[in-house]
Structure 1
Amino acid sequence: MKKYEVMYIIKPTVEEEARKALIEEINNIFVNLDSTVTKVNEWGIRDLAYEIDDLRKGYYVLLNVEATAEAVKEFERVSNIKEDIIRYIAVAE
């Protein structure tokens, strides 16, 4: 398994309970596919570098994971589907 740094940005309009559920769902993607989430760092609401879908702010979440390629692909697939995630990236360390 490789180490990855995964970052995704959630719409700032998402309520706190829904945001926590979404973060938990993303973490479970990795756990359910035999990967390990070593660190979850919630940066909170920050300004975006540029406007995305008429939004100027986003809720940033950074994960450090030891994951299989399959788990990363599943994360990307789910992130594409979820309307509350406006951007994501997974980079191998």
Structure 2
Amino acid sequence: MRNYETIFILHPSFDEEAVTAAVEKFKGVIETEGGIIDNVDLWGKRRLAYEIDKVNEGIYVLVNFQAEAELPKELDRIFRITDGILRHIIVKLDK
């Protein structure tokens, strides 16, 4: 198992219920693929460094998890096809 962290930015029009549903969806993907979630940190709405699709703000979510090497590829695929995700990144953490 390797340590990873992912940060994803949700569209600012999401209400609290939609944000919770999106976070639970990605937690579920990690857990069903055999990963272990260490920490989920909801940073809330913040200003973006640059405009994305005429949007200046986004809702940031940080997730730390442990998983095998195949899981980040599947998680990346799901991020790409999910509506409302402005940006995402998955990083392997050093030991």
TM-score bracket, normalised by the shorter chain, equals over 0.9
- 1:6 aligned to 2:6? yes
Given the two structures, how large is their TM-score scaled by the length of structure 1? 0.96
User: What corresponds to 1:30 in structure 2?
Assistant: 30
- Paired with 2:68 and 2:13, the residues of 1 have a C-alpha distance of 32
SS where residue 17 of structure 1 aligns?
helix
User: What corresponds to 1:48 in structure 2?
Assistant: 48
- Paired with 1:65 and 1:6, the residues of 2 have a C-alpha distance of 8
Question: Which blocks of at least 5 consecutive residues in structure 2 are unaligned?
Answer: none
**Identity of matched residues, %:** 39
- Paired with 1:42 and 1:15, the residues of 2 have a C-alpha distance of 13
The Cα RMSD (Å) is 0.7
SS where residue 12 of structure 1 aligns?
coil
Q: Which residue type is aligned with residue 18 of structure 1?
A: A
Report deviation, 1:69.
Answer: 2.1
Following superposition, which runs of at least 4 residues in structure 1 exceed 6 angstroms of deviation? none
The aligned length equals 93
Q: How does 1:9-20 map to 2 (within 5 A)?
A: 9-20=9-20
Question: Which blocks of at least 5 consecutive residues in structure 1 are unaligned?
Answer: none
Deviations 1:52-85 (A, max 9, x none): 0110000000011001222211111111001111
Given the two structures, how large is their TM-score scaled by the length of structure 2? 0.94
- Paired with 1:71 and 1:21, the residues of 2 have a C-alpha distance of 20
User: What corresponds to 2:65 in structure 1?
Assistant: 65
